[in-house]
Amino acid sequence: MVLAALAAPSAAQAASLTTQPAKPCYRSGETVHFLGDGFSPSPGSVNLTRDGVFVSPIFTDAAGRFDAGLRLLQDQRRQQRTYTATDSSNGSLSASVPVIVSPVGVKLSPDTGPVSRRFRIRAQGFTTGSTLWAHVIHKRSKRHLRIGQLKGACKDLRARRRLMRKNAAFGLHRIQFDTFRRYRAKRAVKTTFTIRVVRGAR
């Protein structure tokens, strides 16, 4: 008698989905590449969904792989999402990856008060560095203030700082928050505020 055993599919045949770069948190506006492997080869395709909502079809190559870039956007609070790739011709070939997306921004309060008041500063999503800086610009004058260390996967910060001097010149002052010690107006990731100093504001 000849016995034959049916071998189970190897782990290498299982579908997989990963992100590149692999990060614990992505900022809004960042482009992430979703890399798939183990799907039906060309002319196959997969359906990419986000939390069960269809996003886009993606075509695979001759090896059943794909590389799809997707720009992640998030306007308000950070959000944890699950992206899933499912083979369009074989529903058993499916893989998911969790992704956390954070908006980029700074909140300042109070809105009004003495020019030299201490601001409550709340920042999030500055994944381009480990330190938050404030650049105070008035005409040709520039001041660079270290606000503090960004913490956590999504680079958060809570601080209280004076951003303006008591003797700040009258007129419009621009404050740019970013993660660089040196000021450049065209930083890709930044948040900008304007403060107008008028007579009596001191």
**pLDDT computed for residue 2 by the predictor:** 41
Residue 10 clears pLDDT 60, i.e. is over it: no
Q: For 57-61, 181-185, 194-198, which range has the lowest pLDDT when averaged over its residues?
A: 194-198
**pLDDT computed for residue 7 by the predictor:** 41
**pLDDT computed for residue 156 by the predictor:** 97
pLDDT > 90 fraction of the chain, expressed in percent and rounded: 87
Q: How confident is the model at residue 13 (pLDDT cuts 50, 70, 90)?
A: low
Assigned CATH class of 15-102: mainly beta
**pLDDT computed for residue 70 by the predictor:** 97
pLDDT > 70 fraction of the chain, expressed in percent and rounded: 92
Candidates 92, 95, 91; CA nearest to 35 is 95
Q: How far apart are CA 101 and CA 138, in angstroms?
A: 34
Determine the number of helices (DSSP H) and then strands (DSSP E) in the chain: 0, 15
Summarize the confidence of residues 81-103 as an average pLDDT: 97
Note whether 45 and 36 are within 8 A (CB). no
Residue 42 clears pLDDT 70, i.e. is over it: yes
Note whether 33 and 20 are within 8 A (CB). yes
Note whether 88 and 45 are within 8 A (CB). yes
Note whether 15 and 36 are within 8 A (CB). yes
Summarize the confidence of residues 98-121 as an average pLDDT: 94
**pLDDT computed for residue 71 by the predictor:** 97
**pLDDT computed for residue 202 by the predictor:** 54
Q: Do domains 15-102 and 105-197 have the same CATH topology?
A: yes
Cα 142 to Cα 1, 29, 99, 194, 195: the distances in Å are: 89, 28, 38, 14, 14
**pLDDT computed for residue 157 by the predictor:** 97
CATH architecture of structural domain 105-197: Sandwich (2.60)
Average pLDDT of every residue of the chain: 92
Burial class (CB in 10 A: 0-12, 13-18, 19+), 112: exposed
Q: How confident is the model at residue 5 (pLDDT cuts 50, 70, 90)?
A: very low
Q: Locate the domains of the chain by residue range.
A: 15-102, 105-197
Summarize the confidence of residues 102-121 as an average pLDDT: 94
Residue 8 clears pLDDT 60, i.e. is over it: no
Per-residue pLDDT tens for 131-184? 999 999 999 999 999 999 999 999 999 999 999 999 999 999 999 999 999 999
Tokens encoding 173 = 């002052």
Residue 115 clears pLDDT 60, i.e. is over it: yes
